[in-house]
Amino acid sequence: MGLEVRIKTKLDGFLLDVDWSMDDELVVLFGYSGSGKSMTLKTIAGVMRQDEGYIKFNEKVLFDRNARINLAPQHRSVGYVFQDLALFPHMTVEQNILYGAKGISKKVAGKDAAEMVELFRLSDHEKKHPHEISGGQRQRVAFARALMSRPDILLLDEPFSSLDNPIRLEMRRCLTNVLKKRFQIPAIMVTHDVLEAYMLADKILIYANGKVIQSGLPREVFDNPATQEVYELVKNRALYPEYLFAR
Pairwise CA distance, residues 71 & 54, whole Å: 11
Average pLDDT of the chain is 89
Which of 19, 16, 23, 25 is CA-nearest to residue 5? 19
Q: What per-residue confidence (pLDDT) applies to 82?
A: 84
| 167 shares a domain with 65 | no
Region 60-66: mean pLDDT is 95
Q: CB under 8 Å to 185, separation ≥6 — which residues?
A: 24, 151, 152, 153, 154, 179
pLDDT, tens digit (0-9, with 9 covering 90-100), for 130-139:
999 988 889 8
Confidence check: pLDDT of 167 > 70: yes
Helix then strand then coil, % of the chain, to nearest 5: 40, 25, 35
Residue 100, domain member (yes or no):
yes
pLDDT at residue 149 greater than cutoff 80: yes
Q: Which of 76, 100, 118 is the last residue of a domain?
A: 76
The CATH number for 157's domain is 3.40.50.300
Residue 32: inside a domain? no
> How many residues does this entry show for the chain?
247
Structure-model confidence comparison of residues 181 and 47, the more confident one: 47
Whether pLDDT at 209 is above 90: yes
Greater model confidence, 162 or 246: 162
Q: Are residues 93 and 185 in the same domain?
A: yes
Domain assignment present for residue 233? The answer is no
Among the listed ranges 55-59, 69-73, 192-196, 233-237, which one has the minimum average pLDDT value? 233-237
The answer to whether position 241 is within a domain reads no
* CB neighbours of residue 212 within 10 Å: 19
How far is it, in rounded angstroms, from Cα 128 to Cα 92? 5
pLDDT at 212: 97
Choosing from 138, 157, 190, the residue where a domain stops is 190
pTM of the model as a whole: 0.90
- My answer on whether 70 and 84 are in the same domain is no
Predicted confidence band at 59 (pLDDT cuts at 50, 70, 90)? confident
Overall number of domains in the chain: 2
Q: Is the pLDDT of residue 80 over 80?
A: yes
Q: Of 81 and 241, which is predicted with more confidence?
A: 81
Above 60 in pLDDT, residue 239? no
**In this structure, are 173 and 90 located in the same domain?**
yes
Which band of pLDDT confidence, cut at 50, 70 and 90, is reported for residue 192? confident
65 & 88 share domain: no
Rounded distance, CA 226 to CA 14, Å? 24
In a domain, 135, yes or no: yes
Q: Is residue 207 part of a domain?
A: no
Note down the domain range covering 148: 77-190
158 shares a domain with 112: yes
Residues 89 and 181 in one domain: yes
Q: Are strands 14-22 and 3-11 parallel, antiparallel or unpaired?
A: antiparallel
Give yes or no: residues 124 and 172 share one domain.
Answer: yes
For residue 247, pLDDT over 80 is answered with no
Assign 227 a pLDDT band (cuts: 50, 70, 90). Answer: very high
pLDDT of residue 240: 57
Structural domain includes residue 56? yes
Position 60 pLDDT exceeds 90: yes
User: What gap in Å lies between CA 2 and CA 77, rounded to an integer?
Assistant: 14
Query: Do 2 and 107 reside in the same domain of the chain?
Result: no
216, part of any domain: no
Mean pLDDT along residues 184-208: 92
Residue 166 has pLDDT above 80, yes or no: no
